[in-house]
Amino acid sequence: MKLPTTSVGSFPKPDYLKQARREYLRGEIDVSELKPLEEKATVEWIKIQEDIGIDILVDGEMYRGDMATYFAENLSGFQISGLVRSYGNRYYRKPVITGKILRPKPVTLDWFKFTQGLTSRPVKGMVTGPYTMMDWSFNEYYDSREDAAIALAEVLHKEVVDLERAGAKYIQIDEPAISVRPCEIDLAIKAMAIVTDGVKAKTITHICYGDFAKIYPEILEIPVDMIDLELSNSALDMLPLMKKYPFTKEIGFGVIDVHTHVIETKEVVKERIRQALEVIPREKIYIDPDCGLKTRTVDETIAKLKVMVEAVQEL
Amino acid sequence: MITTVAGSYPRIGDTEQEQRLRRAIHDCDNGKITREQLAKIEDEVTCEVIKEQDNTGIDIVSDGGIRWHDQFSYFAGKLQGIEITGLVRYFDTNTLYHQPVIRSEIRWTKPVMVRDFEFAKTCTSKPVKVILPGPVTLAANSVDKHYNNYANLVGAYAKALTQEVAALFKAGCPLIQIDEPSLVYDSEIVSLDVCEWALKEIAGARTSDAGKLALYTYFGSPARIYDFLLDGPYDIIGLDFTYAPECMELIEKKQPKASLAAGIVDARNTKMEGDEVGQKLQKIASIVGADNLYVNPNCGLEFLPRSVARKKLEKMVAMTRSASGGNK
């Protein structure tokens, strides 16, 4: 049987949507003009994923700017800061926790329902994890990083329960920040336990930017069914470690480097998958790109996804 | 007590005018303006942020690192033998830096910061300090494709920094700050023998009539290397009281002979410092003596929106004045 394929979350926004978002931010159009374009782009990405032959789909996050800021804008207790530097000449607005974090209404539920309504294939519910939301925000309200992460976990648990009730079979709780402070892995695990408590849907966490060696095998304690890892960007140097400490969960195995314009050849992707099969049981492997593809062009993204699916089919 | 900054100042703010450097860099990258036109705007913005620091009331300013894309690539990129490459996470922050890769022997061929220092002086009547990344931190955050030996790599960076420090002192720089966050962030892995040798080498560039030399640590606890820091030949030792509250116990147990630079303002969170920070400052002053104390944020202010950075410096100056009895 062929290995299942999926994506990590984001896809690039088509030019008409980028343009509309700029106009929206400048106040030139309102949300009633922006939203139909976000929906149009979502419809297009669902069709593209179906045509390529991907098994578990994502909505592509056409309605999100930044993954943390999007949730901050839709929860209460947050404000958005002035511009801060990400690197070089890149700046962004960072969430600021200024009050008790609450969820006045579901954040992603309507988008999940809309997207799942477009296809008979499963669409993943996508939530930004509590540890990452905490780590990527300024905190002016809670006494400690732990208090903030736990408060977020309680709120995000409700979101996950809502997604499950709406029919989500797969729910991904992204925690890219986990790899940055190995000393806080216990906090990340504690927060995730709150988020996934009692959830029957298959839960996934995505981790990237990583020096995984520092948090492996501890990450296997994260209470989710599947861990999705950025592996190809780091020349698969995690595999020897996984030989030493078996990977006990299901794995989302990244086989496409999202940081390069170069389209991998099928042979390169097949070789990466073969290496995965050497250390991880076949039934535990899902194949996907390393990370969200939003920084690639639409054409690069489609080409990369096609190579990935064809490589899986030919193996 | 002397108030100062510990590094960068936010390059852009929330107004159109405060964002012109961002636009200019973008335009330069796209070939719409020349490198010279960009340099002119960098100078203007440098003066702007120096005046802004000046207006908060701090005693010693920096050029804000307005020309710096990150903490390492500006200095390292101007040394021979080093190539600046892809993005890597900067410690446990949410920011990235371009990683230096050592391709061949590291050579310092001409001053990196002297012109920037001389320009900064023209923008203010206050003393201007220069901040440089230290040899241990540079080595820990570079990829070594040449020396294949940690001690030799640290030594090569130390040699380049020694030449830079000598050139800056010769140009009349009153205070040079060497940043060594890796000493406390990676304190289990650094080899103190190598550090000691490298840091002494740099201190050797200071002649009797030269300015002061400071060694700053931040992003971690200095507990393990506290004695090492105290024994070093630096005039000022910088400790991060926000990320390592245990600094208070350390200075209570053993006072530094050198002056202390207390990082008491959190430059990584927008939460404004309250009265408890003023009390902490009074306690520090009572331990080391107000005459021996520099007061600054724990690290560069680049992590904050500019308006918050400004308010935090104003608050720091107010707290310092109040801690010294309001007669400063």
Cβ count near B69 (within 10 Å): 20
Q: Is residue A82 part of a domain?
A: no
A235 has a chain B CB within 8 A of its CB: no
Three-class SS state of A130:
helix
Q: Which residue has the tokens 């504690």?
A: A190
Question: How large is the average pLDDT for residues A209-227?
Answer: 88
Summarised one tens digit per residue, pLDDT across range A73-111 is 999 999 999 999 989 899 999 999 999 999 999 999 999
Instruction: Please give the residue that has the higher pLDDT: either A235 or B127.
Output: B127
Q: Is residue A226 part of a domain?
A: yes
* Omega prior to B100 cis, within 30 of 0: no
Is A180 in Cβ contact with B22 (below 8 Å)? no
Q: Is residue A262 part of a domain?
A: yes
User: Residue ranges of chain B with pLDDT lower than 70?
Assistant: 187-189, 326-328
Phi and psi of B73, rounded to 5°?
Answer: -70, -25
Q: Is residue A76 part of a domain?
A: no
**pLDDT higher than threshold 70 for residue A235:** no
Q: Please, are residues A89 and B25 in contact by the beta-carbon 8 Å criterion?
A: yes
B253 has a chain A CB within 8 A of its CB: no
Tokens, residue A122: 């499963």
Written as one string, the DSSP assignment of A163-216 is: HHHTT-SEEEEE-GGGGT-GGGHHHHHHHHHHHHTT--SEEEEEE-S--GGGTT
Q: Which residues does chain A have within 8 Å of residue B92's beta carbon, measured at their own beta carbons?
A: 180-181
Tokens, residue B166: 């000598």
Is A209 in Cβ contact with B70 (below 8 Å)? no
Q: Is residue A41 part of a domain?
A: yes
Is A84 in Cβ contact with B14 (below 8 Å)? no
Q: Please, are residues B239 and B262 in contact by the beta-carbon 8 Å criterion?
A: yes
Structural domain that includes position A253: 15-65+101-130+141-314
A228 has a chain B CB within 8 A of its CB: no
Summarised one tens digit per residue, pLDDT across range A152-208 is 999 999 999 999 999 999 999 999 999 888 889 999 999 999 999 999 999 999 998
> What pLDDT was estimated at residue B21?
97
Q: Is residue A78 part of a domain?
A: no
Q: Which residue has the tokens 């940690």?
A: B150
Summarised one tens digit per residue, pLDDT across range B40-70 is 999 999 999 999 999 999 999 999 999 999 9
> What pLDDT was estimated at residue B240?
97
Count of the separate structural domains present in chain A: 1
A96 has a chain B CB within 8 A of its CB: yes
Q: Which residue has the tokens 């008409």?
A: A16
In this structure, of A229-238, A281-290, B224-233, the range with the lowest mean pLDDT score is A229-238
Position A239 confidence tier, pLDDT thresholds 50, 70, 90: confident
**CA B197 → CA A59, A102, B132, B252, distances in Å?**
56, 54, 18, 28
Separation CA B96–CA B120 (nearest Å) = 26
> What pLDDT was estimated at residue B328?
42
Regarding an ipTM greater than 0.85, the answer is: yes
- Cβ contacts below 8 Å, chain A against chain B, sum to 63
Query: Which residue of chain B has the CA closest to A177?
Result: B94
Q: Which residues does chain B have within 8 Å of residue A66's beta carbon, measured at their own beta carbons?
A: none
Q: Please, are residues B313 and B58 in contact by the beta-carbon 8 Å criterion?
A: yes
For A84, the closest of B19, B29, B305 (CB atoms) is B305
Q: Is residue A170 part of a domain?
A: yes
Cβ count near A289 (within 10 Å): 27
Separation CA B120–CA B155 (nearest Å) = 30
Distance to chain B for A261, nearest Cα, Å: 14
**pLDDT higher than threshold 50 for residue A35:** yes
Q: Is residue A244 part of a domain?
A: yes
Is B13 in Cβ contact with A209 (below 8 Å)? no
CATH number, position A294:
3.20.20.210
B89 has a chain A CB within 8 A of its CB: yes
Summarised one tens digit per residue, pLDDT across range A117-132 is 999 999 999 999 999 9
pTM tops 0.90, yes or no: yes
